Every structure is written in C-alpha cells, then in structure tokens.
Structure 1
Amino acid sequence: MPTRKLLGRALALTALAALPAAAFTLPTPAVAAVAPAVSGPQAVAVAVPTSFVDLPSRPLPTDHAPHRITVTYRNPTAADQTVAPQILVESPDDGPFLSPANVKLEVLSGGHWRTVPLGSQTGTLFTSLTSAKLVLHGHHTLTQHYRLTVLKASPGTIQPRVALYG
C-alpha cells in the first residue's frame, strides 16, 4: 500500500511540475505542439502559440497612478480562432530589471478589477497565456481592459500582444 501511495504522489507531482513550465515561462513562437510531459492515460498535450500580434507599445509610466491598457484584436477569418491576450512589461536591456513587486496589473472581469499574477523571466514581466486563452468566433473582436499601476518607478516598456494558436 505505501508503494502505491508514493507512486500516485510521484505521478501527481510530475503532472503538476509540467504545468508551471507552460504557464509561467515566457512564450516564444512555435510551429508545433509541445510533447506531453507524462505518457499514458494521464498525458495532456500543451498547445503553444503559432504566432503573436504585437500591439503598440509605450513607455512604462513613472507615476503611481493607474493607467488603462486596452487589448483589441479582430479575428479576420470566418473560422473560430483560439487566442490569448498578454501584457509584457519589459525592462531595459542593461537593467535595472523589473520584478512583479514593481507593478500591479489588474484585468476588468465581470465589472470588477481583479489582480493578475505576473511571471518574470530575464527582466520581462508577463501575464499567463494559459489562463487567458479563449475562442474568438469568426469576424468577432476581442477587447480586454487592463489597469497597470507602477508601485516602484523603474524604466521599462509596456508591450501588449495577442497570442494566436494554430
């Protein structure tokens, strides 16, 4: 019985270990899906974006006031398309590097502002694509409102974009 319990926990931990890698790493364009982390009946394929639509960037504000960011994308095709809005907050190449404690990002959801957790990699803060993924019907428009407040003034750039899945 103890062996079965340990094996079950090991499988669960292996499956959970695969999720943060997909949810909290800076996405890069890819052409194919990532191979499953676990083989057998527990296997889950993780889709990766095939491309990104970069929206206009702007400098990170230096005040401590909330600033609205609107992500808008229109599906140009008649077919449904899986998309995910994403906000990147990029540090200057030569530093200082931003940390999630430097900014507060919120998303307007159901008429209320809710805080969005930020991942961090090499000076770039980013929202998770996994939790933002949705199906956008043909010729429909996605409009997502965010609010960014700088808590500790730092140089940087706000880069909104939309991930497109094949």
Structure 2
Amino acid sequence: MPTRTIPRRALVLTAIALAALPTAALTSPTQAAASVASAPLVTSSSAAPVGFVNLHSRPLPTDHAAHRFTVTYRNNSSADRTIAPQILIESPAKGPFLDPSDIRLERLGTDGRWHVVPLASQTGTLFTSLIPAKLVLHSHHTLTQHYRITVIKAAHGTIEPRIALYA
C-alpha cells in the first residue's frame, strides 16, 4: 500500500490556523450553543489570517555569532490592511529538528533596544506568534522590522519570514 506524506510546512500552517478558530467552531452544535452563550464575543483580532506573503528566505547561519536581517513589506493596495509579520525557522526535512532553545531571535524595538522574540515549535518548525505582532499598515506604507538571530546550538535550517494578511 503506497504511503502519502504531508509536507511539514502544510501541517504547521494547518495547526496554526486551527488554533486560531474559536472553540465553538470545533464542538457539536449543542456544546457550541452553550459555549457561545458564556464566551465573550469573538472579535476580528482573533480571526485567522486569510493569506500569507512569503518573503525572501535565507539559510540559518551555522556559527554562533549574531546575524542581522530585515523584514520589509509594502502595502500597495488603496486600503489600510491588518497584517502580522512572522518568522519561520524550518528544520531540515530529515532532521535533526530545531528546538526553541537552539535559537535566539530578537527584534529591534522603537526604543532602540533588542527584545527577545519567543519561539514556539511545531513539527520541526520554529515560529513567532502572530497575535502580538498584528498591526494596521496604511495604504502605500512600508513596514520595516530589524531582527537579530543567534544560533546557540549548532544547527541547520532556513529562515523564512512572511506576512500574515487579515480580512
């Protein structure tokens, strides 16, 4: 019997999208009615992204030095857009898989200091959370964020920045 593999990235994206769904969408209609009545109203801030824009990827540095990179995205539409920058760090397809403790990711804040960005892990992919990164990017404006990554434990992988787009 032939086996079928699901690409790790597709599995991670599905897990992230399902985590963003309200609990009522994943329960039976009777349970959903009870939980919706007692739950606060779901706002657009908890809605799942409607799409992603993949930006330029690069190999994960193999040394233990701090390396800077910049994430840039321009809203070319005529309307303001809610977006969230996200950094994915993909492990090699055949492992070894990265652990959040293997990598230190920092973002340059508006105060001019570097702030640690927590990483979560799912099926060998490290990723930053979307919710705290959400912002409104005005029409024809550009988002530029500066990051610094340090490989603490020798590892191989790929840095894949992207932008989550919301309705």
> Normalising by the residue count of structure 1, what TM-score does the alignment of the two structures yield?
0.78
Aligned residue in 2 for 1:112: 113
After superposition, where does 1:2-151 map in structure 2 within 5 Å? 26-28=12-14, 34-35=21-22, 37=24, 38-40=35-37, 42-45=40-43, 46-110=46-110, 111-151=112-152
Secondary structure of the structure 2 residue equivalent to 1:144:
strand
Please list every run of 5 or more consecutive structure 2 residues that lacks an aligned counterpart in the other structure.
1-10, 25-34
Contact 1:26 1:126 in 2 (8 A): no
Letter in 2 for 1:161: R
**How far apart are residue 44 of structure 1 and its match?**
2.4
Letter in 2 for 1:128: S
1:135-166 per-position Cα deviation (integer Å, ceiling 9, x unaligned)? 00000000011100000111100001111111
CA distance in 2, matches of 1:95, 1:51: 28
> Normalising by the residue count of structure 2, what TM-score does the alignment of the two structures yield?
0.78
Aligned residues: percent identity? 63
Q: Report the number of matched residues.
A: 140
Shift of the 130–61 alpha-carbon distance from structure 1 to 2, 3 Å rule, reads: same
**How far apart are residue 35 of structure 1 and its match?**
3.6
**How far apart are residue 34 of structure 1 and its match?**
3.0
1:13-43 per-position Cα deviation (integer Å, ceiling 9, x unaligned)? xxxxxxxxxxxx944497xx83455412523
CA RMSD of aligned residues (A): 2.0
Q: Which has the higher helix share?
A: 2
Secondary structure of the structure 2 residue equivalent to 1:98:
coil
Shift of the 148–62 alpha-carbon distance from structure 1 to 2, 3 Å rule, reads: same
